């Protein structure tokens, strides 16, 4: 990979936390990950697997115990952690945006316009004077997302960004990030909602503090497709990378597997309901 495409890179990284009575708890061991410009990487894994540690490491909040972290010089990095309350620095929405954009926008009118535009991207119609303490948990999450998107980062690191959102609001948030990604922002999206991997260029899956899979989402959910229709039943019954890690695949994947078992097969395997609908339409023509 050309060096100018690498935004951030971990090499043989380890994270060890101190525990009680002088003991230590190893969170990561020998983790190597590269994120390149314009890429969308979904990070998956069971609870305690080490995936959330990635956000803290990439954002500089958690030091490495061993290994190396390289960032491209001049890269603009923003992020969103799970603890929404702890991340607020201002008392109002406007003050929070000022912390994010103050260095770029000094004019009050331009700042107000930027805030209004950013909030509309995530479906919020709130005044910049609205107190933070009167926001719901989901609204706080969206405010943070709107603010980091407004800063136009080169790399956006999001840890469970839809955890507190209802399905309709979740779709708005995903669409806002997708738009930023299409405009060149690289995204590291850490989630337990595996259906969100449909947006990804790559899936990185953690297990026991190590990277257990790094590759194409379709391979993660369906395994390697051989192209041999006669062996399709066998390939559907195989233990996929997703299942081998003890993770439950999304309902769309289960549906496609059930259809394949009935000899209704699609190539490439659908990752979204839209993909499946289009494949069915093409099959029925």
3-state secondary structure 217-259: HHHHHHCCCCCCHHHHHHHHHCCCHHHHCCCCCCHHHHHHHHH
Q: What is the dihedral of CA 191, 196, 200, 202, to 10 degrees?
A: 50
pLDDT for 280 beyond 90 = no
pLDDT-derived band of residue 232, with 50, 70 and 90 as boundaries?
A: very low
**9, 39, 160, 196: the active-site residue:** 160
Return the structure tokens found at 273.
């309901």
pLDDT-derived band of residue 229, with 50, 70 and 90 as boundaries?
A: very low
Task: Kindly report which listed range (2-6, 74-78, 96-100, 116-120) carries the lowest average pLDDT score.
Answer: 2-6
Higher pLDDT, 271 or 23: 271
Return the structure tokens found at 223.
């395994």
Backbone angles phi, psi at 164, to 5 degrees: -105, 15
pLDDT of 169-195, one tens digit each? 999 999 999 999 999 999 999 999 999
Selection from 22, 36, 13 nearest residue 201 by Cα: 36
Query: By the 8 A CB rule, do 114 and 78 touch?
Result: no
Tell me, what's the pLDDT at 85? Answer: 58
Q: Which CATH number fits domain 3-207: 3.50.50.60, 3.40.50.720, 3.40.50.300, 2.40.50.1020?
A: 3.40.50.300
- State the Cα–Cα distance between residues 44 and 194, nearest whole angstrom: 7
For CATH 3.40.50.300, the residue range(s) in the chain are: 3-207
- State the Cα–Cα distance between residues 37 and 184, nearest whole angstrom: 7
The whole-chain average pLDDT of the chain stands at 86
pLDDT of 233-267, one tens digit each? 444 456 899 999 999 999 999 999 999 888 888 88
Mean per-residue pLDDT, 35-63: 94
Question: What pTM value is reported for the model?
Answer: 0.88
Tell me, what's the pLDDT at 128? Answer: 82
Greatest mean pLDDT range, 1-15, 67-81, 120-134: 67-81
Tell me, what's the pLDDT at 237? Answer: 52
- State the Cα–Cα distance between residues 47 and 50, nearest whole angstrom: 8
pLDDT for 24 beyond 50 = yes
Tell me, what's the pLDDT at 137? Answer: 82
pLDDT of 111-120, one tens digit each? 788 888 888 8
Mean per-residue pLDDT, 219-246: 72
Tell me, what's the pLDDT at 117? Answer: 87
Active site residue 160: yes
Contacts of 54 (CB under 8 A, 6+ apart): 31, 33, 43, 157, 188, 190, 206
End-to-end CA distance of the chain: 41
Query: By the 8 A CB rule, do 31 and 210 touch?
Result: yes
């Amino acid at each position: 990979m050309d060096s100018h495409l690498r935004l951030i890179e971990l090499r043989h990284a380890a994270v060890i936390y101190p525990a009680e009575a002088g003991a230590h708890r190893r969170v990561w061991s020998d983790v190597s990950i590269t994120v390149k410009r314009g890429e969308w990487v979904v990070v998956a894994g069971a609870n305690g697997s080490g995936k959330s540690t990635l956000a803290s490491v990439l954002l500089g909040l958690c030091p490495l115990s061993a290994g190396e972290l390289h960032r491209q010089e001049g890269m603009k990095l923003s992020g969103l952690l799970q603890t929404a309350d702890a991340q607020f620095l201002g008392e109002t929405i406007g003050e929070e945006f000022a912390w994010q954009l103050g260095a770029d926008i000094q004019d009050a009118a331009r700042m107000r316009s930027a805030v209004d535009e950013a909030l509309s991207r995530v479906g919020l119609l709130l005044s910049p004077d609205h107190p933070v303490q009167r926001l719901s948990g989901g609204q706080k999450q969206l405010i943070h997302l709107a603010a980091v998107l407004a800063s136009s980062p080169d790399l956006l690191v999001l840890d469970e960004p839809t955890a507190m959102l209802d399905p309709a609001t979740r779709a708005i948030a995903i669409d806002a990030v997708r738009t930023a990604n299409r405009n060149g922002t690289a995204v590291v999206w850490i989630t337990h909602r595996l259906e969100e991997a449909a947006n990804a260029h790559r899936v990185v899956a953690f297990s026991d503090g190590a990277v257990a899979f790094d590759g194409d989402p379709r391979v993660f959910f369906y395994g390697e497709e051989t192209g041999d229709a006669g062996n399709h039943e066998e390939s559907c019954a195989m233990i996929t990378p997703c299942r081998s890690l003890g993770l439950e695949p999304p309902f769309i994947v289960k549906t496609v597997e059930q259809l394949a078992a009935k000899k209704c097969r699609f190539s490439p395997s659908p990752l979204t309901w839209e993909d499946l609908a289009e494949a069915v339409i093409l099959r029925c023509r």
